[in-house]
C-alpha cells in the first residue's frame, strides 16, 4: 500500500497517516518515509504512544544520533540521545534549564561544525492552549530573493552563537552562557547552503547569527534582520499545534523553527528531542 500523506501547509510539511513507528518497518516503507521527508521538509506522526527506547530506535533510521555533548544541561539523565525541552523544575526546585529552548528562529546545532541533519521531537504534555511551534521553508526563502540579493550573499558566512536563548534567572543564565561559550566557540556557516541530498539551495540564517565573517555587527545587522524577516514571511511558514504523542520530524538543512511562549507557564509543556547528526559544515571563528 502506498504511503498515505496529508499536506500540512502550502509551504512545507506533510502528515504521515496510518503509520505506527513502534512496529517493525521494512526498508522499503522507511525509504518512502525518507523520500517524503526530503520532499516536504517536515513530517508529522500523530498518536505515537511509544517508549523512549522506541523513540531512539526510530530516530536512528534517519542517521547517527547526537549525544548532545554540546548541551549537557539539557540531556536526559538516562538517555544522552534525548534532549529535554521542558518547563518542569529541576529536582532541586530550580527552574528548568531548557524551559526557554527554541524561542528564537534557528536551525538545530547550527552553532557547531556538525549541524543537525534532522530532529525528531515528541510531545508528552502541552498546556491547555498555546505552546505552538513555527517552521519556515528556507528553500522558498532563498528562491524568492532577487538575483541581486542572491549574488550579494553567495559567499557570506554568518557567525552562529550558542547560549543566546532567554535565561531562566540571572544566576543560572550567566553560568549557562559561560559554559556554552567554553563548550561551543562561535562558528561561521555559509549563508547559502546547498542541500547535500536534494541539491537545492536554502538560506541558512536565524537569530543565532551575530554578524557576517569579515564584517562588523553594525554593518551586518541590517542584512541579517532583512534575511530573517524575509525567511519568516507568513506564506513561508507552517504553525504546528501540538497534541500529546505527536512526533514531528524536520530537516534542519532546509527549515528553521521557533517555539512560541504564548501559554500559561504554570502549565506543563514537556517535549523530548532526538537529533540526527549532519555532514560537517562551517569553521570556528576565534575572534568573534
Residue 63 pLDDT exceeds 50: yes
What average pLDDT does the chain have? 93
CATH of the domain at 208: 3.60.130.10
Give residue 175's pLDDT: 59
Give residue 180's pLDDT: 61
- What would the pLDDT profile of 98-150 be if each residue is shown by its tens digit? 999 999 999 999 999 999 999 999 999 999 999 999 999 999 999 999 999 99
Residue 170 pLDDT exceeds 50: no
Give residue 256's pLDDT: 98
Residue 67 pLDDT exceeds 70: yes
- What would the pLDDT profile of 195-210 be if each residue is shown by its tens digit? 999 999 999 999 999 9
HSE, CB side, 13 Å, CA atoms: give it for residue 283.
Answer: 7
Query: Mean pLDDT throughout 27-38?
Result: 98
Q: Show the domain range for 252.
A: 4-284
Residues known to be catalytic: 106, 108, 257, 273
Residue 181 or 188, more confident: 188
- What would the pLDDT profile of 38-48 be if each residue is shown by its tens digit? 999 999 999 99
Is residue 125 a contact partner of residue 269, using CB atoms and an 8 Å limit?
yes
Provide the whole-model pTM. 0.92
Domain count, the chain: 1
Residue 91 pLDDT exceeds 70: yes
Amino acid at each position: 500500500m502506498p504511503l498515505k500523506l496529508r499536506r500540512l501547509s502550502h509551504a512545507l510539511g506533510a502528515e504521515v497517516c496510518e503509520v505506527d513507528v513502534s512496529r517493525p518497518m521494512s526498508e522499503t516503507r522507511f525509504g518512502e518515509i525518507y523520500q517524503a521527508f526530503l520532499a516536504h521538509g517536515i513530517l508529522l506522526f500523530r498518536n505515537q504512544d511509544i517508549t523512549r527506547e522506541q523513540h531512539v530506535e526510530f530516530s536512528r533510521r534517519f542517521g547517527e544520533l547526537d549525544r548532545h555533548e554540546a548541551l549537557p544541561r539539557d540531556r536526559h539523565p538516562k538517555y544522552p540521545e534525548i534532549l529535554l525541552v521542558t518547563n518542569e523544575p529541576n529536582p532541586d526546585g530550580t527552574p528548568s534549564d531548557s524551559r526557554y529552548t527554541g524561542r528564537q528562529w534557528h536551525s538545530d546545532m547550527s552553532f557547531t561544525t556538525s549541524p543537525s541533519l534532522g530532529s525528531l521531537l515528541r510531545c508528552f504534555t502541552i498546556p491547555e492552549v498555546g505552546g505552538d511551534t513555527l517552521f519556515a521553508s528556507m528553500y522558498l526563502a532563498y528562491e524568492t530573493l532577487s538575483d541581486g540579493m542572491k549574488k550579494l550573499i553567495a559567499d557570506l558566512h554568518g557567525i552562529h552563537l550558542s547560549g543566546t536563548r532567554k535565561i531562566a534567572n540571572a544566576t543560572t543564565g550567566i553560568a549557562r552562557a559561560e559554559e556554552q561559550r567554553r563548550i561551543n566557540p562561535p562558528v561561521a556557516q555559509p549563508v547559502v547552503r546547498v542541500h547535500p541530498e536534494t541539491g537545492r539551495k536554502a538560506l541558512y540564517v536565524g537569530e543565532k547569527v551575530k554578524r557576517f565573517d569579515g564584517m562588523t555587527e553594525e554593518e551586518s545587522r541590517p542584512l541579517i534582520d532583512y534575511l530573517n524577516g524575509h525567511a519568516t514571511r507568513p506564506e513561508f511558514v507552517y504553525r504546528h499545534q501540538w497534541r500529546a504523542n505527536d512526533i514531528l520530524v524536520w530537516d534542519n538543512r532546509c527549515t528553521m523553527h521557533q517555539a512560541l511562549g504564548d501559554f500559561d507557564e504554570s502549565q506543563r509543556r514537556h517535549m523530548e528531542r532526538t537529533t540526527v547528526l549532519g555532514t560537517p559544515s562551517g569553521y570556528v571563528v576565534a575572534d568573534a
